[in-house]
Amino acid sequence: MRTGQVLMQAWMNADALRRTLETGVAWYWSRSRQELWQKGATSGHIQRVREIRTDCDGDSLLLLVEQEGVACHEGTYSCFTRRVDGSPKALIDTAFWPIQPDDTVPYDIGSILRELTAVLVERRAHPDPESYTSRLFRSGPDAYCKKIGEEATEVVLAVKNRDRENLACEVADLWFHSLVALVDQGLGPADVADELARRRGKRREQAEEEE
């Protein structure tokens, strides 16, 4: 409150607001755990609420607080410490993907991966002698693991050389051969998506619990 610095953003529901008003310290709502949590309950970095304001629409609250210690679970006083650099498209991709899909293309990454996986499953179950994919499956892990290593190296080189023209192509090759490995091991994109979702949920919980 003394500096006027923006410290963090978090979710509240009616119970969290009620608890905040009753106790004078900030309480929030964890969407991942579906429960209330007090800021600083474990770390001691509590927020003493001095004033609460609302925006013109009445759907957002601004808490003016006296911050004990730091606000961010990464150890910085404010969560807003990273300056945004890069092109407008890079910023949009980072901030909104996949919530805001690109309307300029008639497909999304999920549908492409599902379609490709279906083709790979078909090639594995019914080999085609003329198919490169069928030959990969027939040759076994040594063949596609070698290709994964080669394509990963190509991705690294494209990044280091700032070769944006070829980077997407090299990543596509890496993803393709990684999908071959997943299908051959009885897995698919959904398993990877589940793991990414689990990690994202865990990260949110860690942030809310303030390690």
Q: Residue 207's pLDDT is what?
A: 58
> Which two tokens mark 58?
């009445």
| Spatial contact of 68 and 45, defined as CB atoms under 8 Å apart | yes
Query: Which residues have CB under 8 Å from 189's CB, separation 6+?
Result: 110, 113, 114, 117, 179, 182
Dump pLDDT digits (tens) for 159-207. 999 998 899 999 999 999 999 999 999 999 988 988 888 887 765 555 5
Q: Taking 80 as the threshold, does the pLDDT of residue 79 lie above it?
A: yes
pTM: 0.50
Percentage of residues in the chain with pLDDT exceeding 90? 56
Q: Residue 87's pLDDT is what?
A: 63
- Number of other CB atoms surrounding residue 32 within 10 Å: 13
Dump pLDDT digits (tens) for 147-158. 999 999 999 999
Which domains are seen in the chain, by residue range?
14-82 (3.10.20.810), 105-206 (1.10.287.1080)
Dump pLDDT digits (tens) for 17-51. 999 999 999 999 988 778 899 999 888 899 999 99
Q: What is the mean pLDDT of residues 71-75?
A: 83
Q: How far apart are CA 138 and CA 129, in angstroms?
A: 10
Q: Which residue, chain included where needed, has tokens 């009885």?
A: 186
Q: What is the mean pLDDT of residues 110-132?
A: 90
